[in-house]
A = this chain, B = another copy of it.
Amino acid sequence: MTTGPHPRTALLRAYVETLQARDWDRFAELLHPDVVYRMPQTREVVRGRAAYLRWNQDYPDGWELSVGVAYGDDHGAAARVDVVFRGEPQTALVFVPFADDGLITSVTDWWPEPCDPPSGREHLTERS
């Protein structure tokens, strides 16, 4: 169970906003020097602030990022980030624990893809 009166969702929002703005100076200020980025679906890992900056800077420009929902507490925050990349909408789920000094020590991203439901449960659901 988490505790504490000061949710850290503002820091996660700043992370997304500086990425969106490609404001690399402010972005880097949010990161712990030993930050670790993980994308579990591909098992990719990026270690350290310099490498994680390069990872983001080397990405092609043109994304639009906005925070859909975000919840957080003193231990960290999670958000659904609504992404448009080259006209294609995508969703990222981002989990970000925080170190005691308020810096981001790790980022874990998930990028679920649309898919068809398994057959046999149509009677239990509608489709949006």
Contact = CB atoms under 8 A, between A and B. Distances in A.
Contacts of A55: 121, 124-125
Contact of A124 (B38, B58, B112): B58
A26 to B, nearest CB: 17
Contact of A125 (B4, B46, B93, B121): B46
Interface residues of A, number: 53
Interface in A13-50: 13, 38-47
Contacts of A41: 112-115
Chain A interface main SS type: mixed
Q: How many copies does the complex hold?
A: 2
A116 to B, nearest CB: 7
A78 B38 CA distance: 18
17 contacts: A1-B9, A38-B128, A41-B112, A42-B116, A42-B117, A43-B114, A43-B128, A44-B125, A44-B128, A45-B126, A46-B125, A58-B124, A69-B97, A71-B71, A71-B77, A78-B93, A93-B112
